Structure 1
């Protein structure tokens, strides 16, 4: 009988040695995710192209045999793996075949990310979210020219903003939230190629300072991106590198965006930093933006009327700043807006009614002592 090349045993209750019965030389793709495997990771077999051991109970360090494999995709996420990441893992010269996707998220890995991304790096996706990694970003990441998704959120990485990543022309997603990044996001000149493909950026919960750095992410505003069908087709053909989900905080909770949604979703999250100054009127140029979170900063001035140009916007959070003025009426034209939060500012006047504004809870507007409206009156009468 012909042996299978692809084997999916995910979402079962398997607990024995994961490779004991699956070392067939014909097997290329093996999915053992969401089972009950536990203990140390086994020695990895050769010959497979893709393996997923995510959402199990593996503990201990990643065995060095991983560097002798022929895999192009490795998913060990959502386990309890500890120790440091081996320096050989990102060195393509150690592999029979170039590795393209590594997902080690939601583990207990420590130490620094190895600075061993070689000039032959063919990584398309790297997800190290939710570990205990520290130190600066490895500068050799710039060698990974085809990188589309970089998720390093929820670690202890201590660095300034990595402008040098702008040379990665395929970068769609940059997630750096909840780390120890610091300092202003500023430089003397804005490069024409600055993050030219970026769709999603999250820098929240760091210690960035200075004015909002929107001008450094030109790909997130409308530059004719979807103005004709030909461009939309070519863009939607960009490679999807994660079969698993990308977590992005939106609409008040962490939502999951699958690989088929990433190129269609445009989001900026700069919340929980030390940004100051006004929200630039140029924010209205980001017409494809679907989620914008600038909350918990020290922003001043009025809410720019140009926000009314963001006709695709679904979520807007400007809460916990020092914004002033009567600037909410312009937002009534945003018919897709399902979440709005302007609480704890210094806004004045009457909250608009009609359309989406009739659906927003009182918590969206609280903490503005000179703001009034039916939404707040209903809350006070309850």
Structure 2
């Protein structure tokens, strides 16, 4: 029984959102105009027009946007240094209560010197791609992230030739990636992830030789991954995960070895062997090849990935032997659901001082859990060892992890007193089904979100709880709701 979302690898989008939030704070604290100057009338009208298109502003994000006041001091408005002219508009939903609802008014076209539009995490900003952006000759940065924009990306998007960044991630855009996007040769970041885009990747993206960040994840793109990566000399982040790509990993990806830090191709239909050249990516932080159809062995060259922090090869067709790696500090590892017979949890995993997620489901592990002696358990959030032949007790491991969120170990041979488990404040998920666990179900389980202790040797009356009967069936003598009532002797 899988009780958690499959991905715990580092999310690059989150990293960049944090950067933007820090920039927002900087914009608010930095003076940008001469004392005594007033707002340019046309630009004030443009900004107030935007405010009038907002139907709901529950947090008062735009409450200081008042006619006749200095618009360069308004929330999210940055003016050119020592000037009254608006340079950037930066509005971000940092918390659920800062969500704006409404549309992006075309009156923003009055901000003729605008070089950056940042509308991020506002969630309920709707409407099509704002075509007024084509009327802003200085525009270099478009961040329309995690809103509710929809429709097609305009076919003439390539006319915005001064763009340095185009980020439309986290909206509801449909249709193909416009071929004219390949005219945006100044781009350093192209982020179109988490929309509903279809079709294939335009070959002309190879012309965007300045890219450092290319993400198309979370769409419905198909076909093979283009073999055009030799054009990119500075690419650091490549994310094509959660699409319908098929075929092999293209050979030209090998040219990215010197600088690439994130390679995420998970949740596609890619096949063939994992290329040996991936072992040369010594700058790699994150490698996600999960939920594909890769077969054969993991290349022995992976021992060279000494700096990798997040490795996810789960849910493929990979076979033994798994290489001995020389990782100094793995943060998250998922090798689940292949045809590995690891025997034990690798020593390079146990020696990591910073690991927070360990998932080794159905990995052929046959050991006593007490023999897993991690050098540090403090940071563990998730541990999933389901479907192995692990014996012994989970008490020492679980009780030593203050920040543990979930522990899954169904289908093993664990044998210990359930009542001796101690759950920290963050602990939410526990699955010990199909083991040899004994004792009573303690009152402390009632604070969990999900629980499964079915098919063990538990006995006694259940504490009052919210869980279904399926969480407790198959034990020796458990009774009480949601199971039948206990016999009154």
The answer on 1:73 being equivalent to 2:113 is: no
Deviation by residue 1:178-222 (Cα, 9 ceiling, x = unmatched): 1010111245xx5742x2221101111100001123x23345302
Deviation by residue 1:142-198 (Cα, 9 ceiling, x = unmatched): 2222211121111100121233212112111111111010111245xx5742x2221
Counterpart position of 1:158: 198
1:115, CA displacement in angstroms? 2.0
Counterpart position of 1:83: 127
Give me the TM-score of the superposition, normalised by structure 1.
Answer: 0.73
The answer on 1:336 being equivalent to 2:329 is: yes
Pick closer, same or farther for the CA change 1:14–1:87 going to 2, 3 Å: closer
1:273, CA displacement in angstroms? 0.5
Pick closer, same or farther for the CA change 1:22–1:111 going to 2, 3 Å: farther
Counterpart position of 1:20: 67
The answer on 1:312 being equivalent to 2:348 is: no
Does structure 2 conserve the Cα–Cα contact (< 8 Å) formed by 1:133 and 1:157? yes
Does structure 1 conserve the Cα–Cα contact (< 8 Å) formed by 2:229 and 2:255? no
Which of 12, 33, 51 aligns to 2:89? It is 51
1:17, CA displacement in angstroms? 6.0
Counterpart position of 2:448: none
The answer on 1:273 being equivalent to 2:268 is: yes
Pick closer, same or farther for the CA change 1:202–1:300 going to 2, 3 Å: same
Does structure 1 conserve the Cα–Cα contact (< 8 Å) formed by 2:229 and 2:256? no
Does structure 2 conserve the Cα–Cα contact (< 8 Å) formed by 1:87 and 1:115? no
Number of residues of Structure 1 aligned to a counterpart in Structure 2: 310
Counterpart position of 2:219: 179
Distance 1:324 1:317 in 2: 15
Counterpart position of 1:64: 106
1:336, CA displacement in angstroms? 2.5
Deviation by residue 1:236-258 (Cα, 9 ceiling, x = unmatched): xxxxxxxxxxxxxxxxxxxxxxx
Distance 2:301 2:349 in 1: 18
Q: Which structure's residues are more often helix, by fraction?
A: 2
Counterpart position of 1:210: 247
Distance 2:311 2:126 in 1: 38
Does structure 2 conserve the Cα–Cα contact (< 8 Å) formed by 1:119 and 1:143? yes
Give me the TM-score of the superposition, normalised by structure 2.
Answer: 0.58
Counterpart position of 1:196: 233
Distance 1:174 1:4 in 2: 41
The answer on 1:324 being equivalent to 2:324 is: no
Counterpart position of 2:366: 372
The answer on 1:357 being equivalent to 2:350 is: yes
1:349, CA displacement in angstroms? 4.1
Pick closer, same or farther for the CA change 1:15–1:30 going to 2, 3 Å: closer
Distance 2:152 2:182 in 1: 17
1:327, CA displacement in angstroms? 1.4
Distance 2:216 2:240 in 1: 5
Question: Secondary structure at 2:155's aligned position in 1?
Answer: coil
- Any residues of structure 2 matched to 1:104-143 within 5 Å, and which? 104-119=144-159, 121-143=161-183
Please report the RMSD computed on the Cα atoms of aligned residues, expressed in angstroms: 2.8
Structure 1 unaligned regions, length at least 5: 7-11, 34-45, 226-264
1:120, CA displacement in angstroms? 5.9
Does structure 1 conserve the Cα–Cα contact (< 8 Å) formed by 2:230 and 2:252? no
Distance 1:267 1:191 in 2: 14
Pick closer, same or farther for the CA change 1:170–1:5 going to 2, 3 Å: farther
Distance 1:180 1:191 in 2: 21
1:116, CA displacement in angstroms? 2.1
- Max radius of gyration: which structure? 2
Structure 2 unaligned regions, length at least 5: 1-33, 40-58, 78-83, 373-389, 395-413, 417-489
Distance 2:222 2:141 in 1: 28
Question: Secondary structure at 2:190's aligned position in 1?
Answer: strand
Greater RCO (CA < 8 Å, at least 6 residues apart): 1
The answer on 1:32 being equivalent to 2:76 is: yes
Does structure 2 conserve the Cα–Cα contact (< 8 Å) formed by 1:30 and 1:50? no
